[in-house]
């Protein structure tokens, strides 16, 4: 029976889902969290290792001679040295597209919160301001209707495309920076170059992978291209954004607001400049974490392991 080690299962399954389907595939050791110092001891005899955010380096793999399979419990797999895995004949799988609908939903949760200032006005009502108001209603921030606004989507993969479909439903004008040709896009989505997209759109939403080319894609120069009424949304990867320069842009009024679900360091340091920036709304990397998305994640994770054990590898990113 194969030995299976889950290094950090808590984020995906804090107790509301079942590990039983995975346990049916082998002898399982499941840990909520694992520090770098604990990896070698915990995974010592494991043929199969599952990881969400625990890093697996070339040195780690070299010290785990039994290791034949690494299952990443996420879509992004930059925590694994894939080249080293390939050289050692170790299969590496990921879980693509499991959270597409949930992440696109979070994009619009941020957009709608900013457009209507939902949290702010709810807090003001609780503070008694509506009860003490002379009129039947009040607002003290700009309120925005989305119909007719321009949204620019950077990266038109699964989540970017789903975000575009929702935007179309709101009557927005949708633009995309994408490697796809204009002929591959539906008529409701227009292709733009990056500078033009940032300059013309009322909302920019980031959905591109993190590479050396996209690191700090959003910086002081790009932010200056945007309208002073513009909104930036990041549910992709934290390092796509230079956080100090975004904070400066928000505090100076260069752009109006930002909604982010990811930061460059998670959990963030107390001195992260976005934590105190004006009109910056931050959620703690939860766009992917709906129960429905996590159920899909668990199901695909088990299917990936089963496929490997049966010699029918799927979702292999180390080919």
Q: What is the mean pLDDT of residues 41-70?
A: 98
Closest CA to 60 of 41, 32, 33, 73: 41
pLDDT at site 137: 96
Phi and psi dihedrals of 281, rounded to 5?
-110, 120
Mean pLDDT, all residues of the chain: 97
Q: Is 285 annotated as catalytic? A: yes
H/E segment holding residue 174: strand 173-177
H/E segment holding residue 251: helix 243-252
Coil, strand or helix at 146: coil
pLDDT at site 69: 98
CATH code of the domain in which 211 resides: 3.40.50.720
Q: In this structure, is residue 298 part of a structural domain?
A: yes
Q: Domain check: are 135 and 29 in the same one?
A: no
Q: Choosing from 237, 245, 294, 296, which is the catalytic residue?
A: 237
Percent of the chain with pLDDT over 70: 100
Q: In this structure, is residue 317 part of a structural domain?
A: no
Q: Domain check: are 197 and 120 in the same one?
A: yes
Closest CA to 228 of 257, 188, 204: 257
Q: In this structure, is residue 178 part of a structural domain?
A: yes
Q: In this structure, is residue 316 part of a structural domain?
A: no
Residues across the chain: 319
Closest CA to 288 of 48, 92, 52: 52
Q: Domain check: are 154 and 16 in the same one?
A: no
Coil, strand or helix at 5: strand
Closest CA to 246 of 286, 206, 211: 206
Q: Domain check: are 255 and 109 in the same one?
A: yes
H/E segment holding residue 222: helix 220-225
Coil, strand or helix at 167: helix
Q: Domain check: are 123 and 207 in the same one?
A: yes
pLDDT at site 264: 97
Say yes or no to pLDDT of 1 above 90: no
Coil, strand or helix at 35: coil
Q: Domain check: are 228 and 278 in the same one?
A: yes
Question: Could you give the dihedral angle defined by the CA atoms of residues 210, 294, 94 and 154, in that order, rounded to the nearest 10 degrees?
Answer: -30
Say yes or no to pLDDT of 49 above 90: yes
Q: CB–CB of 32/50 below 8 Å?
A: no
Q: What is the mean pLDDT of residues 275-283?
A: 98
Q: In this structure, is residue 315 part of a structural domain?
A: no
pLDDT at site 86: 97
Q: Domain check: are 42 and 191 in the same one?
A: no
Q: Domain check: are 191 and 222 in the same one?
A: yes
Q: Domain check: are 86 and 104 in the same one?
A: no
Q: CB–CB of 54/43 below 8 Å?
A: no
Condensed to tens digits (0 to 9), the pLDDT of residues 249-276 reads: 999 999 999 999 999 999 999 999 999 9
Q: Choosing from 88, 120, 216, 285, which is the catalytic residue?
A: 285
Q: In this structure, is residue 301 part of a structural domain?
A: yes
Condensed to tens digits (0 to 9), the pLDDT of residues 167-222 reads: 999 999 999 999 999 999 999 999 999 999 999 999 999 999 999 999 999 999 99
How many angstroms separate the Cα of 233 from the Cα of each of 28, 57, 86, 225? 39, 32, 35, 16
Coil, strand or helix at 230: coil
Q: How many CA atoms are closer than 13 Å to the CA of 267, on its beta-carbon side?
A: 3
Question: How many domains would you assign to the chain?
Answer: 2
Say yes or no to pLDDT of 319 above 90: no
Q: Choosing from 266, 278, 291, 292, which is the catalytic residue?
A: 266
Say yes or no to pLDDT of 118 above 90: yes
Q: In this structure, is residue 47 part of a structural domain?
A: yes
The overall pTM is greater than 0.75: yes
Q: Which residue is listed with tokens 């990921």? A: 94
Q: How confident is the model at residue 230 (pLDDT cuts 50, 70, 90)?
A: very high
Say yes or no to pLDDT of 32 above 90: yes
Q: Domain check: are 124 and 202 in the same one?
A: yes
Q: Domain check: are 195 and 79 in the same one?
A: no
DSSP 280-308: EEE--S-TT--HHHHHHHHHHHHHHHHHH
**CB contact set of 294 (below 8 Å; sequence gap of 6+):** 12, 13, 17, 288
The domain containing residue 87 runs over which residues? 3-98+291-309
User: How far is residue 81's CA from residue 230's CA, in Å, rounded to a whole number?
Assistant: 38
Indicate if the alpha-carbon torsion angle 229, 185, 101, 236 is positive or negative: negative
Q: Domain check: are 85 and 111 in the same one?
A: no
Q: In this structure, is residue 319 part of a structural domain?
A: no
Condensed to tens digits (0 to 9), the pLDDT of residues 73-104 reads: 999 999 999 999 999 999 999 999 999 999 99
């Amino acid at each position: 029976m194969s030995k299976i080690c889950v290094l950090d299962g808590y984020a995906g399954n804090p107790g509301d889902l079942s590990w039983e389907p995975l346990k049916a595939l082998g002898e399982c050791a499941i840990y909520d969290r694992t520090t770098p110092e604990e990896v070698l001891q915990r995974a010592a005899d494991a043929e199969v290792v599952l990881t969400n955010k625990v890093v697996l380096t070339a040195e780690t793999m070299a010290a785990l001679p039994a290791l034949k399979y690494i299952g990443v419990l996420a879509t992004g797999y930059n925590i694994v040295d894939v080249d080293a895995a390939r050289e050692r004949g170790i299969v590496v799988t990921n879980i693509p597209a499991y959270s597409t609908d949930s992440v696109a939903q979070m994009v619009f949760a941020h957009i709608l919160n900013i457009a209507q200032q939902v949290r702010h006005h709810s807090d003001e009502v609780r503070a008694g301001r509506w009860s003490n108001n002379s009129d039947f209603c009040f607002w003290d921030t700009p309120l925005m209707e989305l119909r007719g606004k321009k949204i620019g989507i950077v990266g038109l993969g699964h989540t970017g495309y789903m975000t575009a479909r929702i935007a179309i439903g709101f009557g927005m004008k949708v633009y995309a920076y994408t490697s796809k040709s204009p002929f591959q896009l539906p008529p409701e989505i227009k292709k733009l170059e990056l500078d033009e997209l940032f300059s013309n759109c009322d909302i920019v939403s980031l959905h591109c992978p993190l590479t050396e080319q996209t690191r700090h894609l959003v910086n002081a120069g790009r932010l200056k291209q945007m309208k002073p009424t513009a909104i930036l949304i990041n549910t992709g990867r934290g390092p796509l954004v230079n956080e100090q320069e975004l904070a400066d842009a928000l505090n100076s009024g260069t752009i109006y607001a930002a909604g982010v679900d990811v930061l460059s360091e998670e959990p963030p340091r107390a001195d992260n400049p976005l934590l105190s920036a004006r009109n910056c709304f931050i959620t703690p990397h939860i766009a992917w974490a709906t129960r429905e998305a996590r159920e899909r994640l668990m199901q695909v994770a088990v299917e990936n392991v089963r496929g490997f054990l049966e010699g029918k590898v799927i979702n292999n990113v180390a080919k």
